Structure 1
Amino acid sequence: MTNWRLLMIGQAIFSTYSHPKVAFPKMASVLNSYEIMLKKDLVTFDKQLKYAEFCQKHFLTKKALIEGLALTQIADKNDFEISIQLYRLIGHTYIDVMSDEVDIDMSVMYKCEEYLFNNFDDMAVSRNDIGFVFMAVVESLREIDAFSYDKALEILNTIFRGVGHNPDYSGSNFINYGESSICLSLPPLCNVGNKYIPYRFEVGFFLIQAYLHKHDYSNAQFVAEEVVKLNLGVNSRPRYYILRLRLAEIYRELQWNYEKAKEFCNELLMQNHLPFSKRTKQRARICLALLLAQDGEVERGLEVLIQDESCYEVHCARAQCYLLMNKLQEALAEATAASEMNHDDDDAQAHYLMGETLRSIGEQPTAALKELLRACKLNAYHAPAFFSLGQLLWLTEGPTKKALECFKWAVHLRPHDRVIIRALSERYHSLGMNDENMDLLERSAGYRQFDQWEWAWREFGMYQLMKGDPIKAVKAFQRLCPSPAEVTEDGDLVSLDLLAESYYRQGNWPTAAKIWRQYCKFKPDLYHLQLLGDALQKSQRFEEALEAYRRIEEEHWAPLFSIGHTYVYKARVNEKAGKFGVAFQSWCAAVEPLERAFQLRPSALLVEKNLADAQFAMAIYKQPNSILWANKAWQHYLNCWSCIQRYPTTVCGQVARSMGLCAVYLCNKSDKDLDDQLRKVGRPALKALQRATKVEPKDISNWIFFGVAAARLRKPRLAQHCFIKAIMLNRENAQSWTNLGMLYLENKDYDLAYECFRTGQNLTIHYGHSWYGMGLLSEKVKQPDSTLDILKESCHISLQRSAIFDYGLRFCENLVECIKQHGHSDCINMKELLFLVEIFPPVIYLFYSNPMTLNNLGVLLEIRGDYEAAYKAYNDSLALMNSDDCDWKETRIVVKTNLFRLAGLDRRIAKIYEPDDEAAEGNLPLRYALLAARSWRRLLVEETCENFENFIIFAEDSVQRTLGIFGKHLLINDITADHCEALLAELNLDKMPPVGLVNLLWNLFQTDMPFEEVLIRALNLLSKFSKFLKKAFFYVLYMYRQKLNTTFLRDLFAAAMNESWVKMILLDFLDETKQLKLENLVTFRNTIWNEAPNSVILQYVVEKSKALGDPKWEIWKHRFVFLYPDLAEQLRLGDDETS
């Protein structure tokens, strides 16, 4: 066979078996053919290079490397293409050897590195060229050997993340890997996952190795997991499984994901067809054994190691397993064997195992110390050695700084090792270094988000709770319970409870209540139901809180007290909001459970204090026997004060302030001798407040209450001192200035009072008491107009009961004056009236109920249109007068007259009210007028006419007589022109009230009498008409619009064009003059769309819309039929339409 044929056959076989699907054993024939040709020197340089490439591609790495190095000796350096081809062959082979961990003489590898370095500059390498990767790998491995791990990491990260393949580097064949700008601009792994990078798998492989040398296991893990995800066709190479072995070793070091790590080790051991080195397989078995041992299967781990022949690494692994099993003698034997095989004495592991074993036995501390020191000296990154050394030093020398530094360095090296961290935490705790301990636990507990450390987070959170930092505690317990609503009965209920407590202390009561509600689904014990109720109470969800407390079936004082306290808190919240009726009901409900709780636990100060508060509230709210309630509360306050020294200073201030308020009430309301009350009640209260100010001298509340009590107990100088002291503590406190102003106001020092109130107003706009004081001052200096406005502002800012009472009282007085002056209440601000009607009645009934205030309340409710409530207020006023010994004759007449008038306004009241002789006493015309109105409301026409006749008989002037005649004839409809003529002859129109003018005008129109003078007089007085009288007046004008002249219509349109009836008159005028257009009617319709118009107006709109051909007329027809179904037949829609 000729040389040419041999070459052709070899090349054919090479091209055939280079395909990955061809069976591997047949490759031997190809190799033999090339060997024969090479020995006979029948192969050219090109064919020999292809042979080396063939070996490299088919895992014959050693052969490829030897052939490649041989070719470098005979290659023509001037042939640039051959040089690049050979350079790439050497680079590929070098990476294969290093990544597949091939056993080879290192001198050969040094020659490869030398060749790659020497020839790199001659290669015209552009971006994306593989040459960059070769140089990066070689350079980084050299840096690793020189212990320059950071430099190696910078180089490899630059290539691995694709920085070297940025277009900015085009045209350059050199990268300065040490530039900090490259290092700082490295993109995150998530952003470069899909970018093509040559040899990315292998670069990642070496990057992991660099991280491991630096003991940076976290970054090693992230890179390893990223590389494992890559599927670059290398799963047929040893490096694919070696990478997984390294990831398993990382998991073992991080003490996490043992199952996955064991899977990787077993996977490698099963690949018998791949040319793994003996050392690699041994590493896999050792890693698997240690994983089993750390996972609690030490026996199985030893079984794995038995099949390995004894060597240094195996002895070390066995010693570790025996240490985990606490078989110290066996561990000592294995450690001794490992030490004997450590010939160069350059490995720290053997010394560590020997030292740890001796330390655990405890018989030779000196020898153990020597071994551990040797291990730490040999490897400054050996965390277990430093940890063991720290334990030994702590035991032999005590808590020295040297021992603590060993622990800290071990934690620094292994921030994931929970045994080391817990040991250091216990040392910190024993030394009282709480801040350092918490910092350690916070860092270590969140070291890996995927594997929370319950003990560390719980310790950290509990310490923060104890320290008073609930925000950090919440963050800690949230790590343990990220979804509280999903926690089940078998879940971490302890952490759930602590999380709720953290939220509670933080002030986030709704969230705390939500979590405790979840906890109580599984453990509804007394303590946690109590906590749930407290959180709901703080959230002002009072009904839910009461429900939680009532779930406690046990007869215990705590839930009873909580129920009572909930009612107390609810009452205070509603008092602040001005809802005194709801507050009163809460105070009443609080008494009974608090009394039961006090019977079960009479020694509980807070129970007795809340019971006293509820009893004192009964007195404040003017319940029957209010003085008795106050005396009961006083006795309880005295009992609380007698044992106050056992409680915190804040409780001392609370009790003293309550005693001051109760003493003021008893001294001002009691029928007993005032001096005796001041001695028995006032003096102890002032002493208690004085002590509270001494215990808490910087508490402004104590000084303010002390001053208030002193002012009410006739000690103005002491009060002034207290208020000034409070101002000195905080000049920005409006309450102090306001109380001082009140003191000056009571002592008639108006200038100083004004300055104090003005200062309080300037400090804050949210404190209504300053405005209230200014209103009282305004009244004192005779400025009634501004008084009402200031009191109104006070009520709108804060609903204080005294401010509400004074404002309501003056509003009612103004209301009565307005009605007397104008004859109606239209000038009153209805918005303010509605506001006052809502807040005024509870204040009157609960705090200031006397005949006059109830009468004023009745007037207010009557104007509001709430006749039933007004009727009740008038009757309550009469009842109070009847139960009092005082002479209320004049007031009684006023109230009964008001009742009488009310009966003429409402048919239901007219049926149940029977007037007596005192109603409208001394004013017979008014009495008969009220009787007529009442009879008319009862539909008694004859009786009404009879009352009008009596009204005419006893009329005091022509106006009253005229009104009586009009009223009578209006009922029987028999007014004549003679009547009108006679009345006009004796009537003075200037004295005629507006209602009389309208009535007279109606009759004049009916009898065709001259009406111009009366009509002009009524139009001039239009501003004094009430809104109802205006409607009646305009209705009369519309009914008799044909009689109105053009001059009057012009004046009418100018005065009242906004009124619907006046617009109707205008439309009718336009209609009669043939000027009415559809757009005029549409404009009018739009103005009344949102109203509930009179039936006459609506009927006019329907008929005119139909007549003008508006297609929307049916909409208005349906609205008319809906609003007035009884009047539907009155519609006049033409001959072709029927309603």
Structure 2
Amino acid sequence: MAASKEVKSLLKSARSALDREDYPEAIKQCQAIFWHDDTHYLAHVLCGKAHLLLKEVGEARHQYRIAITSNEKEILAWKGLADLYDKYSPEDKDEKLEAIKTYSHILNTVTGDGEKEFNLYCKLAPLYVDVGQLEKAAGAYLYLLVSPSASGSITEKSLLFLLRHPQYSQTQWQLIEGSYKSFLSSLTETKRIEIQTLFISSCMEWIKLVEDEEVIDSLLKTVQEECEMLESKENQETLLQLEIWKCLKVLSIQPLTEEDLIAITLLLDKRGEEEEEEREGVWLISHCLVLLQSRKIKEACTLASKGTVSLPDSCEGWFVSCVCHMKAHDYEVVINNARKGLEALGSLPYFIRRQVSHSFHILLIEAQLLEGNHKQEALTSCEKLYSESCDCHVIRLYVKALIANGMIHEAEGIINDKASLLNEEKGILNELKGHLFVARGDFDQAHDKFQLAINECPQFSEYHYWAGYTNWYNGNRTKSYPSLVKAGQLDSYNPAVFNMLGHYQRHVANDINRAVKCYKKAFTIHPGLTEAGISLGECLSALGEEESAYEVYLKITEKSPPTEAREAWLRIGLYHRRHSQYDEAIKCYLKVLHQNVSDSNVWECLGEAYLSRGSNIAAMKAFEKATELNPQSIFSQYQVAAIQQLIGLLSEAVASYTRVLELQDDYVPALKGRAESYYKLSLLAINNVLDSKAVSYVSLALIDLSKAVKLKPSFISLWKLIGDSCLSLYSIAETVARVSVPSELLGNDEGLEIIGKKALLELGLKSYKCSLHLCDGKSPYLLHNLALNYYHLAEVEDDKDVSKEYLEISLKLIKNAITLSPRGHTHWNALGVIAMHSILKDYALAQHSFISSLKIEPNNAVVWSNLGALYLINDNVKLAHLSFERSQSCDPMYSQGWIGDGLVAEIFGKSEETRNFLENVSELQYHDESALGYAYWVCKTLTEGAPSHSLKAHQSLVQARDGILKYVRRYPKDSLALNLLGLLYEHEGMMKQAKESISLSLSHMKEEGGSGYLPLVMHNHARLLSVTGSHSEALSCYESLVAMEAPDVRLGQALALFRARKFSEAAKMYQLLVDDCDPDSKSQLLLALSMCSFAVEDNESCKNLLFKV
């Protein structure tokens, strides 16, 4: 109780101090109260007032806040805080928000008191603006605008704000409009123009928000009146904007008429032609609308594009641009602009927004369908639009989208369901039925439907186009022309029409120049129309304008999506290939394959490009892929075979050619290719001394070539290949060269005949003569081959006179070849070889020929070797050696140079060098003479008892044996070679093979008769019979040798007797040998004799003989 009295006393003292203006004392009294009650409301209010009067604003605000916190319902602290903000304006946002809260709280307590409300709204309105609460600011200014207490400045300020920030209802707008009209007359001209301009701008914004047509009409009228009063460029633009909105409302439903554009035309004329260059924004859009109505489509499109650049956020510009480009059939631009327009749809007034949005979607979907690459997206959009709005145009697009996506049954269902609705629009029902029949391939019925559509709506270009299109594809191509011409007259910007007209001029009228004009117009209008571009390029190529065609194809690749540009890339690849730019061609073909990896034709093109570039393996793989995709493709399989032949896979090539011939047995290139592969296989077989295989291959080649020349007897290459095949076997033995030849080639009936080497060479003569006859004897290479054929025929001819005649003909032919091709070094070489034949022996001509050849080609190892052989024949050993050395330096792998030097070394008696030369040859490649010579030298070295290391141990034996084995394979009746082979087998320990070889050698030698080597071979045979356990045969052979008085027989006979366990007879034979031997061999014979004594258990004699050793 005492404390309460003290607080009251302190409050009284504080008030008294305030009345005395002793503000510090008042603060002191309040603080004393706070000792008793620190939340005392009145004490904080008084303390705050004292601080405020002392201009201590921060402390005053703090005290008021404490008081409000302790009791928000009391008004004193709020009023105190309001007084503070009245005297000291709030600075930052937090203070302004606090001031707004303070004034708003007080405003709630003075409702009904007009003067106080007016004053508080005057304070609140600018604060709302400062903190960004524009909606509340608009409410405050709207109150001030209609308040009877408002002065002129307050009204002006309120009106300016409201016009600059149009956020209001229709009722509020009426208040603003009324205040504006009553207040306008009291303003100065400058201020009047400012507010009037703001009013027009606010009207335009308000128009965008209103949907009521009466209100909109009233607003439009108001704006028009205000703009006519001001007469400024800006107001003209406003009027244009109004007219554009009106036109868009019409244009979204139907085409514009001249009446729709009267106001725009007047405004454009008023602006004047002198400012035409400076037009932008709404001026461009307005002018564009005028051009569009006048059917000046290209100029309209140009201005529309400029308008969208000038006003990128203006939906009006994007919509007009879409309409213009749709008229120009520039579908890609329509798609892009429609999407941008839909994004900017918010800039349009409500009263046209829905219609324009609907039209945007219609344009977008139609462009997507006509462009052809957005069919699924168009269908999705159509489904959504169909569910929202089901008018005829939406149904029409929906059905087209379903047909474009292959949903024929669904499209038919919708047509049937909506038939009554579709009948309301002329032509649409018949049009859609026509498209349905086109999708099913029934062009006759489709044409009838489009004709009905034309009867209902004759001015619609698209119906005439489809009538012409269906006539074209139902076979009435001539009748399609009038329809297409009519379509072009009604719509001169439809690329599809001019594309079809191009087809007519190209395929029916056969006028490529007119076709080019039609295709060019179609492609210029719509660069994405790939079909027109491809056709244009093909026509230009037909006219010889290849570079122009190439430029067209490049444009297609730039404008069309990859799936449609593949044909252009294919033709660009063909262009590059024709110009030998193979890398570029390959890149193009790979781009085509990236779109469709299953196109066998493109794989073939890729293979050809790789082949032309020299990438044979890559080419083969490409053709193999083409064959995999199209197993019936003869070309692909043939190319695989040809490449396999080219890279040396001859067996695989034969198999591939065979597969081609299984598809078409009379395909001459495959017959020739397989025959050529057989011919090359025969050459390889000859090089590997597989002569029997070579004969088989030549026989197979001749069979194929016989079929080929029967089909194409005028092909020079076929006759030449027959000659080459016959000539290829010249080096093999007569006994092996037994070839099966088709009887037709020999001039007989059908069947096969086996002929020998001579007959084969005669067939070669006949074939070469046929090929020469076909080329009028002007081919030096055919003359060369014919000359060689005569040369080899002379070698197998038994009659020397005939051989000489052949050689003379050969000489004449090769001279003719030189006359035709004097720089042909091979011809000169052949002339030298023929001239130095043992029958002609024209060594001077041979030398001249070889030297002439070397003048043309100085690094030819073959010619140097031949020249060395010529010198060697004429005993000019030094020059021969120099020539052979030069041959070796030109081509170290050419064996003849080494063989020649080996012969030179043999002449000088340098056996070791001879053997080394022959060894080099055996390491390089097989050669008949070197194989025989090397085997001889190895055997000789062995019989002389040389140490094994002198023969490089086993390696020399193997090399010699392999070489002589090949020689024997080629010459199976050469008894001396067989003997050498047997000796080499024997030294390798291969006794069975050795015995067989020596047996053959002995057999052939006996057949030949009179050979001085017979005892030697018999001796070798007897020894091997003994070694292999054939003792009786061996002893019989030795007895025959004894009868022939052959030398050095008894030692072998004694050894054979010992091996046959005839020890007593062997001992007698050894005893005879001991008596007649030289001292060096006596110990060995005594040792053998002791072994015989030991074998018969005569130990005493054995001991005595061993002591003698």
- TM-score, scaled to structure 1: 0.53
Contact 2:1019–2:1038 (Cα < 8 Å) also in 1: no
Q: Where does residue 1018 of structure 2 map in the other structure? A: 896
Contact 2:318–2:338 (Cα < 8 Å) also in 1: no
Whether 1:966 aligns to 2:1093 is no
Whether 1:801 aligns to 2:936 is no
Q: Which runs of 5+ in 1 are unaligned?
A: 13-30, 44-48, 71-93, 110-136, 161-198, 340-348, 988-1139
Please give the alpha-carbon distance, in whole angstroms, between the structure 1 residues aligned to 2:1067 and 2:691: 51
Please give the alpha-carbon distance, in whole angstroms, between the structure 2 residues aligned to 1:902 and 1:245: 106
Contact 1:245–1:284 (Cα < 8 Å) also in 2: no
Q: Where does residue 833 of structure 2 map in the other structure? A: 708
Q: Where does residue 389 of structure 2 map in the other structure? A: 272
Q: Kindly provide the amino acid, as one letter, of the partner of residue 877 in structure 1.
A: S
Distance 1:239 1:667, change over 3 A: farther
Q: Where does residue 1057 of structure 1 map in the other structure? A: none
* Matching residue within 894, 916, 938 for 2:1038: 916
Matches within 5 A, 1:28-67: 34-36=169-171, 39=174
> 1:632 offset after TM fit, Å?
0.6
Matches within 5 A, 1:199-238: none
> 1:956 offset after TM fit, Å?
0.8
Q: Where does residue 907 of structure 1 map in the other structure? A: 1028
Q: Which runs of 5+ in 2 are unaligned?
A: 1-110, 118-124, 129-133, 137-165, 180-200, 223-243, 265-280, 290-297, 347-352, 739-754
Indicate the larger mover: 601-610 or 366-375.
Answer: 366-375
Please give the alpha-carbon distance, in whole angstroms, between the structure 2 residues aligned to 1:400 and 1:389: 8
Greater radius of gyration (CA)? 2
Please give the alpha-carbon distance, in whole angstroms, between the structure 2 residues aligned to 1:771 and 1:448: 68
Whether 1:587 aligns to 2:695 is yes
Please give the alpha-carbon distance, in whole angstroms, between the structure 2 residues aligned to 1:516 and 1:410: 35
Matches within 5 A, 1:180-579: 251-252=368-369, 254-256=371-373, 258=375, 260-272=377-389, 337=459, 411=523, 414=526, 416-433=528-545, 451=563, 511=621, 514=624, 518=628, 523=632, 569-570=677-678, 572-573=680-681, 575-576=683-684
Q: Where does residue 800 of structure 2 map in the other structure? A: 674
Contact 1:500–1:515 (Cα < 8 Å) also in 2: no
Q: Where does residue 1137 of structure 1 map in the other structure? A: none
Distance 1:955 1:887, change over 3 A: same
- Structure 2 residue matching 1:812: 3-state secondary structure: helix
Contact 2:865–2:897 (Cα < 8 Å) also in 1: yes
Whether 1:830 aligns to 2:942 is no
Q: Kindly provide the amino acid, as one letter, of the partner of residue 758 in structure 2.
A: N
Q: Where does residue 85 of structure 1 map in the other structure? A: none
* Matching residue within 980, 995, 1000 for 1:856: 980
Please give the alpha-carbon distance, in whole angstroms, between the structure 1 residues aligned to 2:1083 and 2:305: 114
Deviations 1:415-449 (A, max 9, x none): 54344234424533543456765776688589867
- Structure 1 residue matching 2:690: 3-state secondary structure: helix
Contact 1:516–1:531 (Cα < 8 Å) also in 2: no
> 1:893 offset after TM fit, Å?
2.3
Contact 2:814–2:827 (Cα < 8 Å) also in 1: yes
Distance 1:595 1:966, change over 3 A: same
Contact 1:428–1:437 (Cα < 8 Å) also in 2: yes
Please give the alpha-carbon distance, in whole angstroms, between the structure 2 residues aligned to 1:910 and 1:245: 112
Contact 1:948–1:964 (Cα < 8 Å) also in 2: no
> 1:962 offset after TM fit, Å?
2.5
Contact 2:861–2:890 (Cα < 8 Å) also in 1: yes
* Matching residue within 749, 762, 770 for 1:635: 762
Contact 2:654–2:678 (Cα < 8 Å) also in 1: no
> 1:926 offset after TM fit, Å?
2.7
* Matching residue within 1044, 1056, 1060 for 1:931: 1056
* Matching residue within 1046, 1057, 1078 for 1:957: 1078
- Structure 2 residue matching 1:789: 3-state secondary structure: helix
Contact 2:854–2:863 (Cα < 8 Å) also in 1: yes
Please give the alpha-carbon distance, in whole angstroms, between the structure 2 residues aligned to 1:537 and 1:225: 60
Distance 1:534 1:50, change over 3 A: same
* Matching residue within 912, 934, 949 for 1:810: 934
Matches within 5 A, 1:778-789: 778-780=905-907, 783-789=910-916
Please give the alpha-carbon distance, in whole angstroms, between the structure 2 residues aligned to 1:908 and 1:561: 60
Distance 1:309 1:354, change over 3 A: closer
- Structure 2 residue matching 1:643: 3-state secondary structure: helix
Distance 1:849 1:402, change over 3 A: same
Q: Where does residue 1122 of structure 1 map in the other structure? A: none
Contact 2:427–2:453 (Cα < 8 Å) also in 1: no
Contact 1:707–1:721 (Cα < 8 Å) also in 2: yes
Give the count of matched residue pairs. Answer: 837
Please give the alpha-carbon distance, in whole angstroms, between the structure 2 residues aligned to 1:578 and 1:499: 37
Please give the alpha-carbon distance, in whole angstroms, between the structure 2 residues aligned to 1:153 and 1:929: 120
Deviations 1:372-420 (A, max 9, x none): 89999xx8x9797699699989999x98989857755754665543442
Please give the alpha-carbon distance, in whole angstroms, between the structure 2 residues aligned to 1:328 and 1:690: 80
Please give the alpha-carbon distance, in whole angstroms, between the structure 2 residues aligned to 1:36 and 1:568: 102
> 1:582 offset after TM fit, Å?
3.1
Distance 1:553 1:956, change over 3 A: same
Whether 1:874 aligns to 2:998 is yes
Please give the alpha-carbon distance, in whole angstroms, between the structure 2 residues aligned to 1:559 and 1:385: 44
> 1:771 offset after TM fit, Å?
4.1
Please give the alpha-carbon distance, in whole angstroms, between the structure 2 residues aligned to 1:764 and 1:217: 70
Please give the alpha-carbon distance, in whole angstroms, between the structure 2 residues aligned to 1:445 and 1:833: 70
Contact 2:961–2:984 (Cα < 8 Å) also in 1: yes
Q: Kindly provide the amino acid, as one letter, of the partner of residue 880 in structure 1.
A: H
Please give the alpha-carbon distance, in whole angstroms, between the structure 2 residues aligned to 1:203 and 1:909: 116
> 1:738 offset after TM fit, Å?
4.1
Q: Kindly provide the amino acid, as one letter, of the partner of residue 272 in structure 1.
A: S
Q: Kindly provide the amino acid, as one letter, of the partner of residue 845 in structure 1.
A: R
Contact 1:815–1:828 (Cα < 8 Å) also in 2: no
- Structure 1 residue matching 2:999: 3-state secondary structure: helix
Contact 2:683–2:728 (Cα < 8 Å) also in 1: no
Distance 1:975 1:394, change over 3 A: closer
Deviations 1:302-358 (A, max 9, x none): 9999765899xx99x99xx9999599999999998479xxxxxxxxx999999999x
Contact 1:452–1:480 (Cα < 8 Å) also in 2: no
Please give the alpha-carbon distance, in whole angstroms, between the structure 2 residues aligned to 1:513 and 1:721: 50
Q: Kindly provide the amino acid, as one letter, of the partner of residue 732 in structure 2.
A: Y
Q: Where does residue 21 of structure 2 map in the other structure? A: none
Superposed CA RMSD: 7.7
Contact 2:828–2:849 (Cα < 8 Å) also in 1: yes
Distance 1:150 1:552, change over 3 A: closer
Distance 1:641 1:945, change over 3 A: closer
- Structure 2 residue matching 1:879: 3-state secondary structure: helix
Whether 1:624 aligns to 2:739 is no
Distance 1:819 1:645, change over 3 A: closer
Please give the alpha-carbon distance, in whole angstroms, between the structure 2 residues aligned to 1:642 and 1:511: 40
